[in-house]
Structure 1
């Protein structure tokens, strides 16, 4: 069984069991939502990628008044807009639209039953709900080892009929866009916590030496700091779910940047402390390291930091 087929089985089980039926952001239980995502990521980052996408899609549909998901349906959010091919949308009468083109970075391309997809239209960037069975996943477009189980492929849209969800540009302009970004950071945190377990386990079983213990201490500080930031963000989201204060983008950028830095540090310190042994002999650990390395690149590095600096210059730092 291939990695994506294993993930497909686990994801179907998670959906059918209700494990990814999470509280909506801003519902008063956002910390519970983030904790569930982190726990899922600590087990399997590919599964967490699909679980987070499903939970995000359900939240988007609720926020924008989209169709109610059918029981057992598995949803993804395909909204990447990298250079290269993309999807365009044209109205075809009666309130329906047709989509054509190719969408990149579609996680769960052969696993999800439905997806929310962004597409360029004459009146702006629009969001649509589609049935995945009508699409054309492109085999071989994700040859990488990292996140191999996430089934992230390019997907072709051959004049597919789609239902619009919300008005133009609603995907990025809604309050939930920033709230969802914090959810992704919770997955990064959970993945880093999973990687760090190898170091913690080694230190509790044998004398790993002072240098490895120093790395463990630094990892502990980093992970606790990241979780404190996520918990604070959850409280702030619950206190202002509609983002009437306008703090959402700044909050999401800060939490994501901090969590990405901590997770990157955990990867480096765990590797330096333990050497090649767990990477070469522990399949689960080596897969977690490869998966987290890829997943963290959803953070856009200096580009996101530059946007954070721009917002701080405009709005003030608060420190």
Structure 2
């Protein structure tokens, strides 16, 4: 893959592949969040950042984790995203071993996290919803309102006494990703470090690259299901099964091609601003359509038996269905259509 001018090739690809495959071969257990976050910290020290000249290496690692266990990938991906954001902003991470990060940027009705200056420091006050794994992490990047119209991004130590995490966990009742609990956090005057200027978090190109990284995990989750379909547990594939497997191959090839092309574009550094956002929406939409196609093919081909008799397969189905709902479906397609009306990449084909 062509590297961005100035990028220096090294052995990151080999080292990251060895670390990922070694961890998976070691038998990572579903629900072992401590082990998953330990791996996240190790990978964060080795894997390249987006747009560094080795974006494909990063996304391949995320896809590999997703194919093995979406809960594992769901724990690792936000940590890597947070490190990429801090690097992009030029903010140093805490020099402590084993620090683990989340990114909490969602908003919810009736709650609000605000930021105000108190002398030379910033303090946060209020409630932040949808904070995944907050009670297991040491730090997080959180968005908070600095005025009525603008949000800033802040680095927050989740172990501060002014931060309460893990409350309302009893309300988390999903069948997919059951151990990746998302709850509100309550913040009562906790100090925080600003990361970038107000509004920067959503305006930067890296926001788009992080969104494609999530799509790489979705792709991996679909690959994991496809492997189960290709291994029919003691019986030969018949013509209908081959039809479904062919459809799966078609879907995954399209998703893989979209991710590979995007990695090359990102590393060339030629797409910015609205075009970067459109690229992310396009790739995510292609991958979601492919993943949903794989879900349907697996369910049609394998029937109900594995869903009620194979815990790993049933969990993989439920995990992927829930994770895909991070995509905004028709709303994202409408946004992509507005962009394509004026400057879709196929206009110049």
TM-score range, shorter chain: over 0.9
**Residue of structure 1 in register with 2:284 after alignment:** 256
User: Per the alignment, in what secondary structure is the counterpart of residue 318 of structure 1?
Assistant: helix
Structure 2 runs not aligned, ≥5 long: 1-28
Select the residue among 69, 80, 83 that pairs with 1:55: 80
Q: In structure 2, how many angstroms separate the alpha carbons of the residues matched to 1:262 and 1:147?
A: 20
In structure 2, the residue matched to 1:77 is 103
In 2, Cα distance between equivalents of 1:269 and 1:235: 30
Q: What SS does structure 2 have at the residue aligned with 1:41?
A: helix
Q: CA-to-partner distance for each residue in 1:8-38, whole Å, 9 max, x for gaps?
A: 2222330354377420111110000000000
TM-score by length of 2: 0.85
1:174-189 alignment, distance < 5 Å: 174-189=204-219
Structure 1 consecutive aligned stretches of length 4 or more whose deviation exceeds 4 Å: none
1:274 equivalent in structure 2: 302
Matches of 2:204 and 2:250, distance apart in 1: 34
Aligned partner of 1:29 among 54, 58, 75: 54
1:285 and 2:313 correspond: yes
Matched with 1:18 is 43
Q: State yes or no: 1:127 paired with 2:153.
A: yes
Q: Which residue of 2 aligns with 1:300?
A: 328
1:277 CA displacement = 1.3
Cα distance per residue 1:192-245 (max 9 Å; x no partner) = 111222111118x4223222221111001110110111000000000017x447
RMSD: 2.0
Q: Name the CA distance, whole Å, in 2 between partners of 1:75 and 1:229.
A: 28
Q: Is residue 7 from structure 1 mapped to residue 32 from structure 2 by the alignment?
A: yes
Q: 2 CA distance for matches of 1:74 and 1:245?
A: 29
User: In the TM superposition, what are the counterparts of 1:96-175 in structure 2 within 5 Å?
Assistant: 96-122=121-147, 124-134=150-160, 135-137=163-165, 138=167, 139-175=169-205
**Unaligned ranges ≥5, structure 1:** none
Secondary structure at 1:117's aligned position in 2?
Answer: strand
* Residues 1:225 and 2:254 aligned together: yes
Give distance in 2, aligned partners of 1:100 and 1:175: 28
CA 1:156–1:7: 2 relative to 1, 3 Å: farther
Task: Summarize deviations over 1:256-286 as a string: whole Å, max 9, x none.
Answer: 0010011111111101100111111111111
- What CA distance in whole angstroms lies between the structure 2 residues aligned with 1:310 and 1:86? 31
Corresponding residue pairs, total: 313
Q: Structure 1 residue 88: deviation in Å?
A: 1.5
